[in-house]
Structure 1
Amino acid sequence: MYSARCTEDGVIYAAVDFARLPPEELARKRQFLQCSECGGPAFFRKASRGGRAACFGARPHAPNCELAAPEYDPNADGRGEDQEQLLNPGNRIVVDLNYGAARQPVVREEDGLPQNRDRRGRYGEEGGRPQARMQRRLSSLLRNLIEMPEFRQSDQILEIEGCPEILVRDFFVPLLEVTTDHEGQFRGYWGMLSDARRGHDGTLWLNSGGRDAISFCLDEHLVTPLYDRYGIEDEEGLAGAYILVLGTPSVSQRNKVYCDLAINEHMAMRVAR
Structure 2
Amino acid sequence: MLDAICVLTTEGEAVVEHPQPLNSLAPLAITGVTYSVFKFQQLPEAEIERLRQHLYCPACYRKAYFRKASKDGKAACFGSRYHQLDCIEFNPSAQKSREEQDALEVQQQLLEADALVIDFSLKPTKHEPSKKRQLKSDLKVADIQANKISDNASNIGVVSALVDSVQEPKANYQTTQDKPEIALVGKRTPSQGLEKLLHSLLRGSDLAKSDLWVYTDDERKYRWRAKNLFVNFADADPTDNKPHLYWGTLSHCDPLMTWLNPADSKDIGIPIEVVKTKLFKQFNITDKRDLEGAGIILFGKCFWNKDKTRKIIQLWDNDLRRIFISTLED
Structure 1-normalised TM-score?
0.56
Question: 1:186 corresponds to which residue?
Answer: 243
Q: Distance in 2 between matches of 1:252 and 1:91?
A: 39
Name the counterpart of 1:234: 287
TM-superposed deviation, 1:75: 9.4
Secondary structure of 1:243's aligned partner: strand
> Percent of aligned positions with the same letter in both sequences?
20
Q: Aligned pair in 2 of structure 1 residues 211, 269: CA closer, same or farther (>3 Å)?
A: closer
Residue 109 of structure 2 aligns with which residue? 85
Aligned match for 1:166, one of 224, 228, 241: 224
1:218 aligns with 2:308: no
Q: 1:94 aligns with which of 117, 125, 129?
A: 117
Contact 1:175 1:213 in 2 (8 A): no
Alpha-carbon offset, residue 230 of structure 1: 1.6
Over aligned residues, Cα RMSD in angstroms?
3.7
Larger radius of gyration: 2
Q: CA deviation at 1:241?
A: 0.7
Number of residues of Structure 1 aligned to a counterpart in Structure 2: 182
1:261: how far off? Answer: 3.0
Greater strand fraction, Structure 1 or Structure 2: 1
Give the residue type in structure 2 aligned to 1:205. Answer: W
User: Does the CA contact (< 8 Å) of 2:118 and 2:193 recur in 1?
Assistant: yes
Provide the secondary structure at the position in 2 that maps to 1:247.
strand
Residue 269 in structure 1 maps to residue 269 in structure 2: no
- The answer as to 2:188 corresponding to 1:132 is yes
The aligned counterpart of 2:297 is 244
Cα separation, partners in 2 of 1:92 and 1:239, compared to 1, 3 Å:
same
Instruction: Report what 1:196 is aligned to.
Output: 253
Aligned-partner Cα distance in 2 for 1:235–1:77: 28
Is the partner of 1:263 in helix, strand or coil? Answer: helix
Given that 1:180 and 1:257 are in contact with CA atoms closer than 8 Å, whether structure 2 keeps it comes out as: yes
* Change beyond 3 A, Cα 1:76–1:170: closer
What SS does structure 2 have at the residue aligned with 1:246? Answer: strand
Structure 1 or 2: more helix by fraction: 2
Note if 1:155 corresponds to 2:211: yes
Quote the Cα distance in structure 1 between the aligned partners of 2:188 and 2:120: 19
| SS of match in other structure, 2:296 | strand
Deviation at 1:258, TM superposition (A): 0.8
Contact 2:103–2:205 (8 Å) recurs in 1: no
Where do 5+ consecutive residues of structure 1 fail to align? 1-62, 104-108, 114-130
Q: Unmatched 5+ residue regions in structure 2?
A: 1-56, 61-86, 127-182
